[in-house]
Amino acid sequence: MFRKLLVKNYILIDSVEINFVDDFNVITGETGAGKSVLISALSLLSGQRAETHVLRQKDQKCTIEAEIELSNDHLKPLFEHYELDFDRLTIIRREILPSGKSRAFINDTPVNLKTLEHCSRFRLSVVDQLAETEDLQQAYQTSLEAYNKLKSEINRLKSENKKTREEEEFLTFRFEQLEEANLIAGEQEEGNKKGFIIGILYHFGIGKCNGFSIIIGRK
């Protein structure tokens, strides 16, 4: 966890040292007090590129330093990979020179920005509130589109289900009518058979007359 943050000659800040306590820390202040400047300073410790316009005094270097306490040795292999001295109280420092050059150190060992970024990201994460809002908006938009798509699919399935039930009821009704007719093979004359068949066809929607009104009845 963070133990200390030191910022010198950075934008609005001449020199400030902040000591952090365990658990939760809050930095408050009025607009323009420098809260965002501190966040920007932390970004430099995570490997972000710097420019000389951040120097408060143009003829002096800027220094940003953080003391980070490592709770265990799980980062030790990473330090060994980059040939860095491992210490439970690790110091990360970034310097910006008036010439425009930038230097980075981990436990007083010079490192490049890629190494600084790789090592610091395990203990330092800077989140821009606007970027976070944009990510949330994008996530919301994606979720909303997925919801609307599922809702449309549900409505389609409900409609098909209703249509299927109606067709089932219709066919069940027709089947019961056929059973009630109690037809016997060879009982009707050929004309009567044709009339009955036509009537059935009308029942199934192939015509506009109402049901068995056109059926020639049995004897």
Alpha helices in 101-128 (DSSP H): 113-120
Residue 149 near residue 142 (C-beta atoms within 8 A): no
Query: Is residue 136 scored above 60 in pLDDT?
Result: yes
Residues 99 and 200 in one domain: no
Residues 116 and 187 in one domain: no
Residues 10 and 83 in one domain: yes
Out of 126, 155, 172, a domain closes at 126
Residue 74 near residue 27 (C-beta atoms within 8 A): no
Residues 114 and 219 in one domain: no
> What pLDDT is recorded for position 60?
93
Residues 97 and 7 in one domain: yes
The pLDDT tens digits for 155-184 are: 999 999 988 988 888 888 887 877 777 766
Residues 108 and 8 in one domain: yes
Q: What is the mean predicted confidence (pLDDT) over 131-154?
A: 79
In a domain, 12, yes or no: yes
Residues 121 and 219 in one domain: no
Closest by Cα among 23, 13, 9, 116 to 52: 9
Question: How far is 178 from 181, CA to CA, in rounded Å?
Answer: 5
User: What are the phi and psi torsion angles at 9 (to 5°)?
Assistant: 55, 45
In a domain, 13, yes or no: yes
Count of alpha carbons within 13 Å of 4, Cβ hemisphere only?
10
Residues 15 and 122 in one domain: yes
Query: Is residue 95 scored above 90 in pLDDT?
Result: yes
In a domain, 36, yes or no: yes
The pLDDT tens digits for 98-110 are: 998 999 999 999 9
Structural domain span for residue 54: 2-126
Out of 109, 126, 143, a domain closes at 126
Out of 89, 108, 126, a domain closes at 126
**DSSP string of 73-136, one letter each residue:** STTHHHHHHTT----SEEEEEEEE-TTS-EEEEETTEEE-HHHHHHHHTTT-----HHHHHHHH
In a domain, 170, yes or no: no
Give the pLDDT band (50/70/90) at residue 207: very low
Residues 120 and 198 in one domain: no
Give the pLDDT band (50/70/90) at residue 38: confident
Residues 92 and 187 in one domain: no
In a domain, 100, yes or no: yes
> What pLDDT is recorded for position 214?
42
Number of domains in the chain: 2
Give rounded-to-5 percent helix, strand, coil for the chain.
Answer: 45, 20, 35
In a domain, 138, yes or no: no
Please tell me which of 19-23, 30-34, 132-136 the model is most confident about, judged by mean pLDDT: 19-23
Residues 202 and 102 in one domain: no
Closest by Cα among 148, 147, 51, 149 to 102: 51
Strand partners, 68: 2, 90
Residues 99 and 190 in one domain: no
Residue 66: both structure tokens together: 């953080």
Selected residue with higher pLDDT from 123 and 85:
85
Question: How far is 178 from 1, CA to CA, in rounded Å?
Answer: 83
Residue 135: both structure tokens together: 């990510």
In a domain, 195, yes or no: yes
Q: Report DSSP state, residue 17.
A: E
In a domain, 157, yes or no: no
Q: Which CATH number belongs to the domain containing residue 66 in this structure?
A: 3.40.50.300
Q: What is the mean predicted confidence (pLDDT) over 42-66?
A: 88
Provide the whole-model pTM: 0.53
